[in-house]
Amino acid sequence: KQEVTQIPAALSVPEGENLVLNCSFTDSAIYNLQWFRQDPGKGLTSLLLIQSSQREQTSGRLNASLDKSSGRSTLYIAASQPGDSATYLCAGANAGGTSYGKLTFGQGTILTVHP
Amino acid sequence: SAVISQKPSRDICQRGTSLTIQCQVDSQVTMMFWYRQQPGQSLTLIATANQGSEATYESGFVIDKFPISRPNLTFSTLTVSNMSPEDSSIYLCSIGQGGEKLFFGSGTQLSVL
């Protein structure tokens, strides 16, 4: 059974800093891994999806990596801004096909970027 | 990406009553999913709702407690039945689109007194 852990649980940084959020998973047979941000009252926003055959994905100031052998993924945020303040969740899928949509979520990292 | 509208956004309910949550998508999707996020916890999949067939429930979730309807390819409902305070959670619907990315509605914040 896949288990997903995120550290740290909370992170507070000054504006402009580069930061890394960590996600670890127990089952290396992961199919893909997705990073989300959650804002209060706004549900989840998909940020990046990394397939098991990929090592990283980039979107703007965000870069996510995936290392199946070590069971780890990181989300790198460059030049952080107060608008980046949110809860960041990683979630792993162990298969496509009929298991599509069955994501195992970590408990999230609460990020606060202060001016 | 598709626009997912979820109603109500929040509700406060009495113990023993039921609440139906609606999820409307502005395009046709094959699979819709219902997740629960209990206070301080991460998201857990309740069930997969397929049009034209019964929902598929995950371990720990049963149809009598969480009946789901999926009358067409753009709409689904989740009912939380005979509620107790332990059902206080955020309930979210989600869809798959553009490959295997999941997209989520804004959620329903449910409080049971």
For B74, residues 6+ apart whose C-beta sits below 8 A from its C-beta are B24, B25, B26, B27, B28, B29
Residue-level pLDDT at A115: 94
Pick from B28, B26, B27, B21: nearest CA to B6: B21
The partner residues of A104 in beta bridges, in order of sequence, read A92
Give the confidence band of A97 by pLDDT, cuts at 50, 70, 90. Answer: low
Of B33, B42, B106, the CB nearest to A101: B33
Say whether B38 sits in a helix, a strand or coil. coil
Residue-level pLDDT at A98: 53
Pick from A88, A61, A89: nearest CA to A76: A61
Q: Does B102 touch chain A (CB under 8 A)?
A: yes
Contact assignment for A93 to B109 by CB distance below 8 Å: no
Query: For residue A100, is pLDDT > 70?
Result: no
Query: For residue A47, is pLDDT > 90?
Result: yes
Higher pLDDT, A28 or B35: B35
Q: For all residues of chain B together, what is the average pLDDT?
A: 92
Q: How much is the average pLDDT of A27-54?
A: 89
Contact assignment for A43 to B96 by CB distance below 8 Å: no
Give the confidence band of A48 by pLDDT, cuts at 50, 70, 90. Answer: very high
Q: How much is the average pLDDT of A26-43?
A: 88
pLDDT digits (tens, 9 = 90+) for B8-23: 999 999 999 999 999 9
Contact assignment for B45 to A44 by CB distance below 8 Å: no
As a whole number of angstroms, the distance between CA B56 and CA B109 comes to 23
Q: For all residues of chain A together, what is the average pLDDT?
A: 92
Of B4, B96, B105, the CB nearest to A101: B96
Q: How far is A114 from chain B (nearest CA, A)?
A: 23
Q: How far is A41 from chain B (nearest CA, A)?
A: 6
Residue-level pLDDT at B5: 94
pLDDT digits (tens, 9 = 90+) for B49-78: 988 888 999 999 999 999 999 999 999 999
Contact assignment for A105 to B42 by CB distance below 8 Å: yes
Contact assignment for B105 to A43 by CB distance below 8 Å: yes
